[in-house]
């Protein structure tokens, strides 16, 4: 079966699961997920499942990538600046590149950062990669219209709250422990932060420091 056919089938699955935002569905179709998975997982690239990548990490299930992106896109059809915490393979950043004018992504594991940077720099001109502690965010580029945290934490690092745009900035984050996690959308209005639960999820844990 061709890559194009596989990808169209994946988009149909995402629609059935409730992904309805046209821009998100278009972005998901534009990104070739096979480029972001390991060679031994190529045959599963367009299945709606998470897959292992290097350093004990995973490339997220396409539905979760689309769900997080859709939660962000209620900000409008074209977001100016987005920060991603946890570059991983670069797949989520690639999807965001079709939704935001500029994407900033931080990775704490050097091998993942190096591999993702090499791939993303060849494919996209609006993705900026940074090797740093995700708990720090990227204060030099703040504020951000949206922040996506692609690993689970029991509480949002305080610097990330402050890097959100004051009026309607949105932070999408899985909160919880390894036993139970819920994806939340946190919206900032001035110094008031309101949060809305979206659905139960399962992510690798967010860790501080560099590796």
Catalogue all structural domains in the chain, each as residue range(s) with its CATH number.
3-201 (3.40.50.150)
Best CA proximity match to 181, nearest among 160, 203, 206, 196: 203
Q: What whole-number percentage of the chain has pLDDT above 70?
A: 97
Count the residues in the chain. Answer: 211
Best CA proximity match to 61, nearest among 49, 69, 70, 53: 49
For residue 77, pLDDT beyond 80: no
For residue 56, pLDDT beyond 90: no
- Compute the mean pLDDT over every residue in the chain, rounded to the nearest whole number: 94
**Residue 76 has what pLDDT?**
63
Best CA proximity match to 82, nearest among 93, 71, 67, 70: 93
Give the residue numbers marked as catalytic.
Answer: 60
**Residue 79 has what pLDDT?**
83
Instruction: Name the band, by pLDDT with cuts 50, 70 and 90, for residue 55.
Output: confident
């Amino acid at each position: 079966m061709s890559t194009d056919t596989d990808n169209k089938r994946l988009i149909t699955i995402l629609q059935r699961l409730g992904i309805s935002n046209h821009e998100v569905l278009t972005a998901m179709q534009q990104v070739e997920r096979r480029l972001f998975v390991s060679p031994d997982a190529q045959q599963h690239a367009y299945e709606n499942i998470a897959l292992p990548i290097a350093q004990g990490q995973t490339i997220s299930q396409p539905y979760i990538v689309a769900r997080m992106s859709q939660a962000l896109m209620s900000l409008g059809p074209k977001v100016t600046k987005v920060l991603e915490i946890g570059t991983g393979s670069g797949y989520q950043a690639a999807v965001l590149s079709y939704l935001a004018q500029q994407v900033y992504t931080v990775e704490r594991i050097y091998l993942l950062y190096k591999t993702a940077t090499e791939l993303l720099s060849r494919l996209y001109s609006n993705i900026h990669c940074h090797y740093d502690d995700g708990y720090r965010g990227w204060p030099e580029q703040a504020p951000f219209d949206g922040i996506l945290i692609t690993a689970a934490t029991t509480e949002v690092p305080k610097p990330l709250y402050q890097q959100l745009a004051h009026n309607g900035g949105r932070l999408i984050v899985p909160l919880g422990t390894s036993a139970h996690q819920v994806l939340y959308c946190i919206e900032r209005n001035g110094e008031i932060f309101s949060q809305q639960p979206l659905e139960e999820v399962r992510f690798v844990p967010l860790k501080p420091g560099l590796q």
